């Protein structure tokens, strides 16, 4: 499984060469999967030896992992693995590692519950705040999603689904909602790339995307909120059915 995290790394000033990224991914996954447990002490020498990387690469990897709350460096002690409570759970890389672990279902559940708490209100705000061009664009995206979904073109459908929800969050007029765009993007990508999407999106989901778009286009915040809540409730129900 792979997800392109470069846009988020650039935003946070954390771009790193491929070798650094592979080292970070390897260690991050080991921590999140519990192979490295809270309280375990790591050293740059030990990391370099186990992964076959230089001390410089190991140091840069630790710097990034520390910024994510997975480890902390203590003078004369070493690099200490941190418990889940310390992790930066909204960071795209942490989210993806959790989706790639045995805790995948719990991560998808918590992300979907976050979406249920935020996106209906964002849709209502978009119905009040969006400009004419954004309203038209939302309807066009929903129409494209229906065509792609019925054709079973899941990758292109995913791209439009991301565009749909990103536009809603961006036009809500709430910078806190807009800041969650990357979280919604990763949960949408994760559900597709982890094989949790049906070959053809269910008609109810397509209808509800249409309903959200039309409510926003019509400037109806009440219906926009209701339709988005129904859409995400359908997503949560589907996840419960798909979980082992």
pLDDT mean across residues, the chain: 88
Average pLDDT over residues 210-223: 98
- 41: β partners: 80
- Which of the pair, 188 or 122, is modelled with greater confidence? 122
Average pLDDT over residues 130-158: 95
Give the number of other CB atoms < 10 A from CB of residue 52. Answer: 10
Q: Write out the two tokens for 69.
A: 């709350």
**pLDDT score of 172 more than 60:** yes
Which pLDDT belongs to residue 192? 78
| Closest residue by Cα to residue 121 from 217, 215, 210, 222 | 222
**Model-wide pTM > 0.75:** yes
**Chain segment 100-143, per-residue pLDDT in tens:** 888 888 888 899 999 999 999 999 999 999 999 999 999 999 99
At 155, give phi and psi (nearest 5°).
-65, -45
Q: Would you say 154 and 199 are in contact if contact means Cβ atoms under 8 Å apart?
A: yes
Which pLDDT belongs to residue 157? 94
**Chain segment 3-54, per-residue pLDDT in tens:** 454 444 444 444 444 556 889 999 999 999 999 999 999 999 999 999 999 9
Coil, helix or strand at residue 201: coil
C-alpha distance across the termini of the chain, in Å: 19
Could you tell me which residues come within 8 angstroms of residue 183 by beta carbon, excluding any fewer than 6 positions away? 90, 92, 95, 111, 114
d(CA 232, CA 111): 11
Q: Would you say 99 and 108 are in contact if contact means Cβ atoms under 8 Å apart?
A: yes
The count of C-alpha atoms lying within 13 angstroms of the C-alpha of 21, restricted to the half-sphere facing its C-beta, is 12
> Angle formed by the axes of helices 154-170 and 181-193, to 10°?
160
């Amino acid at each position: 499984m792979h997800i392109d995290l470069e846009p988020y790394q650039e935003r946070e000033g954390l771009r790193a060469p491929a070798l650094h990224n592979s080292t970070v991914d390897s260690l991050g996954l080991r921590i999140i999967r519990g192979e490295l447990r809270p309280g375990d002490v790591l050293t740059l020498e030990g990391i370099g030896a186990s992964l076959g990387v230089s001390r410089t690469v190991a140091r840069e990897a630790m710097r990034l992992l520390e910024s994510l709350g997975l480890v902390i460096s203590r003078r004369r002690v070493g690099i200490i693995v941190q418990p889940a409570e310390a992790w930066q759970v909204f960071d795209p890389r942490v989210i993806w590692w959790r989706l790639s672990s045995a805790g995948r279902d719990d991560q998808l559940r918590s992300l979907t519950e976050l979406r249920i708490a935020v996106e209906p209100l964002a849709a209502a705000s978009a119905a009040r705040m969006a400009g004419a061009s954004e309203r038209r664009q939302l309807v066009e995206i929903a129409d494209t999603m229906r065509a792609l979904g019925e054709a079973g073109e899941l990758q292109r459908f995913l791209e439009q689904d991301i565009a749909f929800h990103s536009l809603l969050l961006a036009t809500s007029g709430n910078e806190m909602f807009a800041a969650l765009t990357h979280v919604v993007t990763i949960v949408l990508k994760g559900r597709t790339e982890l094989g949790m999407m049906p070959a053809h999106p269910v008609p109810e989901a397509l209808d509800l995307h249409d309903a959200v778009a039309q409510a926003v286009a019509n400037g109806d915040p009440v219906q926009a909120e209701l339709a988005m809540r129904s859409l995400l409730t359908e997503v949560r129900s589907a996840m419960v059915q798909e979980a082992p």
